[in-house]
Amino acid sequence: MKHKFLLLGATSAIAHATARLWVQRGAALVLVGRDAVKLQQALQDLQVRAGPQAHLLHAIQADLEDVSRHAALIDEAWQRLGGLDGVLIAHGTLPDQTACDADVSLALAHLHTNGVSVVSLCAHIAQRMKTAQAGTLAVISSVAGDRGRQSNYLYGAAKGLVSLYLQGLRNRLYPHGVHVLTIKPGFVDTPMTAGIGPKGALWATPERVAADIVRAMDRNTDVLYTPGFWRFIMMVVRHIPERVFKRLRL
């Protein structure tokens, strides 16, 4: 059983719900987050749940947008646990499309956070896992990356970059015993989406998504739509002809 995990963006609701499930299995974890207060709160919550296994949990405060620190960060996590069975990359932002349309620098900053910094982390982790000839790299992308829509195409472009990068990385690492999982959640009720409403039948809880992630990593799934009905929704959306799609207000 996989039991040594690194969570990047560990204070996000989905990552924390996933960490709780791994703690129930007695896993050793390294949590990485930017906000020191939230990171400590997440660590303490997990330590209480871990009980006698609390010593297996560690936290590193780091700004994941600083790609110059990624190599050293992965090295530190690797050394703390003596190797990694799995990594979950869950950090990101949900940009305001209108604000990004009006401010190019803001748009580029969100592209860096949701796209470039994720690729940087993946590249460093891939080197480590390829050398070890083992491991699972799981990355939270989004259904938004399947097709650009006027309401969130900046976010979708970053996630599309991540999804396509992971597709190639999965192809490259498969012969080396390394599994790459692309996670595509739909609407998830988290603090990041608190300003979006009302929440309807298409929305999922972080706990539901976390359970799907753990199961997909156990089964070496390649691409996870969560909840599963999003696979069919996006299949329809992807197949709408462009001449029709451009007239829709989505």
Q: At what angle do helices 153-173 and 117-132 cross, to 10 degrees?
A: 10
Q: Which listed residue (155, 165, 174, 225) is catalytic?
A: 155
DSSP 191-218: GGGTTS----TT-B-HHHHHHHHHHHHH
Q: Which residue has the tokens 């871990």?
A: 50
Is 174 marked active-site? no
CA distance to 28, 29, 157, per residue, from 216 (Å): 19, 18, 24
C-alpha to C-alpha distance for 90 and 107, rounded to whole angstroms? 20
Distance of alpha carbon 90 from its chain centroid, rounded?
3
Task: With CA atoms as reference, report the closest residue to 46 among 38, 35, 57.
Answer: 57
DSSP annotation of 120 reads H
Distance of alpha carbon 122 from its chain centroid, rounded?
11
Name the E strands within 201-244. 223-226
Strand partners, 184: 225
Q: Which residues are catalytic?
A: 155
